[in-house]
Amino acid sequence: MSRSLDLPSYLDQSKGVADRFEKLRNRPVKLKVEDLGKKFNTPKGEILALNKINLQIHRREFITVIGPSGCGKTTLIRILAGLDFPTSGKVLLEGRKMEGPGAERGMVFQDYTLFPWLSVKKNVMFGPEIKGLGTLKAEAEAMEWLEMVGLAKFADAYPGQLSGGMKQRVAIARSLANRPEILFLDEPFGALDAQTRSSMQAYLLKIWQNVDVTVFFVTHDLDEAVYLSDRILVLRANPGEIDELIEVPVPRPRDPGQFLTPEFLATKKRLEELIRPPESAQNEGIPMIRLTEMGDEVE
């Protein structure tokens, strides 16, 4: 392909980008993962879903995990969010060993997890009210978060009346209303069409710019990973291990015009190399099935 001829290396960083990463590395470590492993016992035997994962995430970093299906992305995010436990190694939250979920960690899943019997506003108020904030204060906070995700007008609607993208924005607002220090999102935009997805990415970047929150994001969309992230953690499967941790050389603030810049394409090309197996392996063992009549080849 000709495009690879004149692309820079994804390792090249402009001075501005290099300075940003230098600053990022000097921020306090929010989450530290040490030699983390996770085994599952299944009827078919033991699965090593994660093996020797070591990682440090800094305050207000936007980190994304990418990798083939089954490489352990969901297992990792669930453990870091406190919804599951490692079978070896440990997770430290600001230096303290983590036990179970906590209000300082919020989670957004791909499936919409709103309470269908509560209005949009009541869904967002839920966390603050549980924390003991009075109804009026909880309502004021909920409205601020709904404003941030562009849904203040829909405060009195019910989840069933909203589109998928809107529901997911409410889910993000509901998580943020608990004031998490880290927001975990597992393929949150995976079920949305391309256009909605790109507006969701813009909302998420805006939120991250305006709120003091560290973001841990899982996707299998290469463009999404490059567009959003400071660093991308690439996992490989069987066992789930770190393949590479990439510093994204695309300057911030990000905008969709950057999708075709050399540094964006160079990073995407690197992800493709890591995630797509070499062609010889791809063709192995896959039977060729002809769905056309003989003689109508399209060469």
Ligand X SMILES: Nc1ncnc2c1ncn2[C@@H]1O[C@H](COP(=O)(O)OP(=O)(O)O)[C@@H](O)[C@H]1O
Q: Which residues contact 153 (CB under 8 A, 6 or more apart)?
A: none
Structure tokens at 88: 């070896």
Amino acid at 71: C
Alpha-carbon separation of residue 80 from 34, 84, 106, 224 (angstroms): 12, 8, 11, 21
The window from 55-63, 68-76, 154-162, 193-201 that contacts ligand X (CB under 6 A) reads: 68-76
# of chain residues touching Mg ion (CB under 5 A): 2
Contact flag: residue 164 with ligand X (CB under 6 A): no
Name which of residues 44 to 83 contact Mg ion (CB under 5 A).
73-74
Going by C-alpha positions, the residue among 234, 246, 228, 241 that lies closest to residue 276 is: 234
Q: How far apart are CA 270 and CA 222, in angstroms?
A: 10
Burial class (CB in 10 A: 0-12, 13-18, 19+), 62: buried
Among 47, 118, 143, 152, binds ligand X (CB under 6 A): 47
Residue 71 partner contact from ligand X, Mg ion, none using kind-dependent CB cut-offs of 5 to 8 Å = ligand X
**Nearest distance from C-beta of residue 134 to ligand X, angstroms:** 40
Q: How far apart are CA 153 and CA 165, in angstroms?
A: 15
Q: Which is nearer to ligand X, 13 or 51 (CB)?
A: 51
Contact flag: residue 42 with ligand X (CB under 6 A): yes
Contact flag: residue 70 with ligand X (CB under 6 A): yes
**Nearest distance from C-beta of residue 74 to Mg ion, angstroms:** 3
Q: Which helix (H) or strand (E) holds 69?
A: none
Among 18, 35, 40, 276, binds ligand X (CB under 6 A): 40
Residues forming beta bridges with residue 92, ordered by sequence position: 32, 97
Contact 226, 267 (CB under 8 A): yes
Q: How far apart are CA 281 and CA 278, in angstroms?
A: 6
Q: Which is nearer to ligand X, 107 or 155 (CB)?
A: 107
Residue 69 partner contact from Mg ion, ligand X, none using kind-dependent CB cut-offs of 5 to 8 Å = ligand X
Q: Which is nearer to ligand X, 150 or 190 (CB)?
A: 190
Q: Which residues form the interface with Mg ion (CB under 5 A)?
A: 73-74
State the residues that interact with ligand X by CB under 6 A: 40, 42, 47, 49, 67, 69-75
